[in-house]
Amino acid sequence: MQCAGALVQSRVDTLVYGTVDKKAGACVSVMNLVQEPRFNHRLEVVPGILANECKSLLQKFF
């Protein structure tokens, strides 16, 4: 959640990422803090770029 908060506070325009974090993701998966209407800034989110490759790398790492 800290990363999502930092993205909103720094007014990043677009977030592009590979795969979701189904347990603790705060950008679309579990929560959607980066597009929360109560905040004064929202990001465009582009998920799933090279999703299978990213998932495989994360699984190997952890």
State the pLDDT confidence band at 1, using cuts at 50, 70 and 90. Answer: confident
**Dist CA 36 CA 50 (whole Å):** 26
pLDDT digits (tens, 9 = 90+) for 40-60: 999 999 999 999 999 999 999
The shares of helix, strand and coil residues in the chain, as percent rounded to the nearest 5, are: 35, 15, 50
For domain 2-61, give the fold: Cytidine Deaminase; domain 2 (3.40.140)
Instruction: Say what the pTM is.
Output: 0.79
Mean pLDDT (the chain, rounded) = 93
**Beta-carbon neighbour count of residue 19 at 10 Å?**
20
CA atoms lying within 13 Å on the CB side of residue 19: 13
